[in-house]
Structure 1
């Protein structure tokens, strides 16, 4: 049962990019629907458990969720410019690298020389893995890659902050779950009003269809909290890294994103390096 719980976030976060791409719509529709869907799960959890947090923790958790939206906007935009199968390994790798470095510099993680050597070796592996998944043979694809990276890389800062802020508070994952989902929804609403130039995004069908993806994200995030408690943080975290494999392979098999034989070979090698690197950081 514990293993099944651990697989829920891997499946949910792996299949979500495929579902969102199938539904279609613009990034503003996808972001709005995701935010609303995530809040629905957050409200259900809050009503069932009634966890309480201090005002400061609530605000930091909500800010964490809001910064997640920044990262998600970049990811959704990159889907359209360079495809899911290229976006997801690059995005995941850069997230892992950034959160690992922040953990060391700000929270004193990887204590001891051995841990730091192994940790930074893992970062090097992930950097190589990201570089391999980004290799593109087609000139048109290179233009899409450059355009996608131009928005994906700077917005990944949002994911880093999303991961870092909860470490600054002394509260359980369940306690900060609702304020995080609320922050996501409020930030998504604000983005929709600005990027959608008013209420137009609220009237479009794709926005409301994407709420299903937001609910899947919320359920996956909730399952991760239970998995971390049942299996330990390291094990739970490592299993979730299967999500990048699912989304990358799904982009090719389900969304029919084409890769040359060389691109496919390098992408698979890159995925292995990213997953191995993440496992190395998780067990430190």
Structure 2
């Protein structure tokens, strides 16, 4: 059941960047719209499920939501410099590496020699896949400026995403309990990180849809964490990369040479293979 929940997350999250790009707007309005959608989703869910929320859940959930905003805001920003087909696979690889390290070193989720060996191989495969997706031709090089800036932005994004997942598991906060405090932290964080960009426009309203999609994936991830662990659940949830990456090329028509398309597809397959291998490390 936990693996199925993580797969649902993969489908939802793999569609987010594609949907947001189709709906339009800059990273400010996209981020604000997503937080609005998440807040609406969480309020409706709260009255349906009526979870028990205490001070610890409120605090940790809000911090988790704020960390997510950092991750999403800077992922949207990285797309402006790297494009969807490059930014999303790189972001996925970095997130998988970070969450897996926490899962293994902090939560001790790899216990046997076989799990450790398979896990290390999986991380190497994921890193190789991320490298493949970032390969470019000399004909469309930008001198490295945009790529370097995009990678720095992705580092900030990764720190936020990893923190968002790890902190709720660290304090053993349940999925239904966390969702409303998380959404509140997301909304406040979204306001603080986007107000300078004048995000209140029609694109923010449109991107409420992406918030609803994200929230569906978020609750299935939170419910899968206690069942199969951080390293496994988050890794499997990220295999939706194939949707966003190939969608960037074939739906958004991002300019890529034939060589780049081959490497991007190969990179996606490697990252997915690494994610699946990490899934097998769960005892």
User: Which secondary structure state, in structure 2, belongs to the residue aligned with residue 190 of structure 1?
Assistant: helix
- Structure 1 residue 24 displacement after superposition: 2.2
Name whichever of 181-190 and 138-147 sits farther off.
138-147
- What residue in structure 2 maps to residue 241 of structure 1? 238
CA drift of 1:155 comes to 2.6
Match of 1:162 among 164, 189, 195: 164
Is the 1:136–1:142 contact (alpha carbons within 8 Å) kept by the matching residues of 2?
Answer: no
**Partner residue in 2 for 1:220:** 217
1:212, CA displacement in angstroms? 1.3
Q: Distance in 2 between matches of 1:235 and 1:116?
A: 13
Distance 2:8 2:26 in 1: 27
- Superposed CA deviations along residues 180-210 of structure 1, whole A, max 9, x for unmatched, are 12211111012123x33xxx322x2211111
The runs of 5 or more residues in structure 2 that have no matched partner are none
Aligned length: 277
2:279 to 276, 279, 282: 282
- Aligned CA distance change for structure 1 residues 17 and 132 (closer, same or farther; 3 Å): same
Residues 2, 233 of structure 2: 8 Å contact kept: no
* Deviation readout 1:234-256 (Å, 9 max, x if unpaired): 98666533410000010011100
Q: Which residue of 1 aligns with 2:123?
A: 123
Contact 1:10–1:241 (8 Å) recurs in 2: yes
Quick check: 101-110 or 215-224, which moved more? 215-224
Return the offset for 1:51: 0.4
2:17 alignment partner, SS class: helix
| Alpha-carbon spacing, 1:121–1:6, altered in 2? closer, same or farther (3 Å) | closer
Contact 2:9 2:221 in 1 (8 A): yes
Cα contact 1:82–1:141 (8 A) shared by 2: no
| TM-score (structure 1 length as normaliser) | 0.89
Q: Distance in 1 between matches of 2:233 and 2:114?
A: 23
CA deviation after TM superposition for structure 1 residue 220, in Å = 2.4
Post-superposition offset of 1:232 = 6.0
Deviations 1:92-116 (A, max 9, x none): 1100000001112222221233322
CA contact (8 A) 1:34 1:212 kept: yes
Matched, 1:205 2:202: yes
Q: CA deviation at 1:218?
A: 0.9
Inter-partner Cα distance in structure 1 for 2:188 and 2:235: 30
Q: Which range is displaced more, 141-150 or 270-279?
A: 141-150
- Aligned pair in 2 of structure 1 residues 141, 71: CA closer, same or farther (>3 Å)? farther
**Which residue is 1:133 aligned to?**
133
**Structure 2 matches for 1:172-211, cutoff 5 A?**
172-193=174-195, 195-196=196-197, 200-202=198-200, 204-211=201-208
Partner Cα distance (1:238, 1:105) in 2: 16
Shift of 1:71: 0.8
Structural RMSD (CA): 2.5
Which position in structure 2 is the counterpart of 1:11? 11
Q: Which blocks of at least 5 consecutive residues in structure 1 are unaligned? A: none
